[in-house]
Structure 1
Amino acid sequence: MQHLSHSFSGALRTFAYFMASGTQYTLEGIKYLDLYGNDPSAIEQVYAIFANVLQLDETGRVMNAHYAQKRATDYLRAYCDPSFQVEPPYEDWEVALHEPPPRLDPV
């Protein structure tokens, strides 16, 4: 059985912390914390973009954490501020919501 790399785990943990604490540096001035309780699908999309854009090398080391954060949080910035334009526009693979795991772990 294979586990995610420590690098991936650290990148995800760090991103989740700054998003949940309201201190994500790419969202300065954007009031987004209420979305966690009132519009969770917007937050879901942010994490999907982060995971889709994140790249790992052959050893599992994250190669583009800051870029993945920027692409993900640009979605939320545009969601909260319709005058903000994401550049370049998202490609379908970046915003794809992939199938969730089964409700029960495989035996």
Structure 2
Amino acid sequence: MNEQWRAVCRLDDIEPETGVGVRLPGRRQAALFRTRDDRLFALDNHDPFSHANVLARGLLGSLQGRRVVASPIYKQHFCLDTGQCLEDEGVRLSVYPVRVSQGQVELRVEPSP
């Protein structure tokens, strides 16, 4: 798989305990989250239950010992580390590696075809 790092925003653009939606190659979107302790997580922004790109607007928290985001529509919880839905083990979102380079947040993604 040919992956590349892509700058998506500045770290200062994300307030702690919030998320932002970012565009990826191929009309995809990621939900990028910054926790209170400045950890960054990125997963698909597309909520598979409501079929809307809304997960970046979800609430961060913890459930069953895992860091999660709760979908703002139907409230399913997705693990920030794995993308696994806690209410439906058959549903898992893609997770993207995240890094910060010179104040820019970068995601590792597959290039668009």
Identify whether the pair has TM-score above 0.5, normalized to the shorter chain.
Answer: no
Q: Which has the higher strand share?
A: 2
Q: Which has the higher helix share?
A: 1
Normalised by the length of structure 2, the TM-score is 0.28
Normalised by the length of structure 1, the TM-score is 0.29
